[in-house]
Amino acid sequence: MAQAPAELLVESVLKMEAVRHSVAVAKEDGTMVKASDGAPGNLGEVVAFLGSAAEVISSNLELGDLSSVLAEGQNHKMLILPHETVYLGVDLDPAQSPWWVLQPSPLDLLLESKTTKISEAEELLKQKLILVNLLLEEFGALGEKAPEWQEMLAYELKNVDPLGRLAKMVTAGPGRISHNEGVKTDISKKEVSDAFEKLVNSTCKKAIACLGFVAVKQKFQIVISRLASGNR
């Protein structure tokens, strides 16, 4: 990855899912370079010890360059990322299993270009959710058949994205899909677009079965008009 100051990495990683605290310590002597606000006082020492031990083991066993170390125990989960002259230590929520931690090179995701792509995909997802929820509203999905619609939506979210990223970012409720704020994945804008195209098609097909083609066509036009006028 492109060079990035340790201080910037400490701040950047805080934006990632499930991160509680982060620190950067010098590889050479374990001195603290930067710590996020509220980081436990001993976090730097733990990061320096685990990072150094992992690199020694990797070298002795000829495992190649170390890209990351994930340490888990009772009530704790920590990610160690060697970077140039420092170890970046990330204190994670032990109750979560964030997607980015298990990527081959987690540090690459902290690059501005990558985080920008993630943000763009998330923004598109929000726009698509507005469309789908307006359709669901017009199709009467919030009425008596809301549980039936919820079941369909939950199934289709998994079907349109078998990797399960959408299912993490949104939740299918009774006749409506809500955005899980703060949950990010590596899904691209194109993948979001393709997935929601399939989801809209599935939603319309179910509506046609309930209301008929002519009624669904009319309601679809109403939704388009509402979007164009900003009446959401």
Residue 29's CATH number: 3.30.450.30
Domain with 32, as residue range(s), is 6-110
**Side-chain-side CA neighbours of residue 92 (13 Å):** 24
Poorest-pLDDT segment among 109-118, 148-157, 182-191, 196-205: 109-118
pLDDT > 90? residue 227 = no
More confident residue, 115 or 104: 104
pLDDT > 80? residue 230 = no
- Residue 177 C-alpha from the chain's centroid: 17
Residue 1 lies in a domain: no
Is residue 2 very low, low, confident or very high in pLDDT (cuts 50, 70, 90)? very low
- Let me know whether 78 and 182 are in one domain: no
Asked if 100 contacts 13 with a C-beta cutoff of 8 angstroms, the reply is: no
- Residue 18 C-alpha from the chain's centroid: 10
Residue 44 lies in a domain: yes
- Let me know whether 106 and 121 are in one domain: no
What's the alpha-carbon Rg for the chain, to the nearest Å? 23
Rounded to an integer, the average pLDDT of 15-23 is: 90
- Let me know whether 25 and 103 are in one domain: yes
Domain termination residue (choose one: 110, 140, 165): 110
- Let me know whether 96 and 196 are in one domain: no
What values do phi and psi take at 133, rounded to 5? -70, -35
Q: How many domains, in total, are found in the chain? A: 2
- Let me know whether 85 and 133 are in one domain: no
- Let me know whether 73 and 119 are in one domain: no
Domain termination residue (choose one: 56, 86, 110): 110
pLDDT at 178: 94
pTM over cut 0.75: no
Is residue 67 very low, low, confident or very high in pLDDT (cuts 50, 70, 90)? confident
- Let me know whether 121 and 100 are in one domain: no
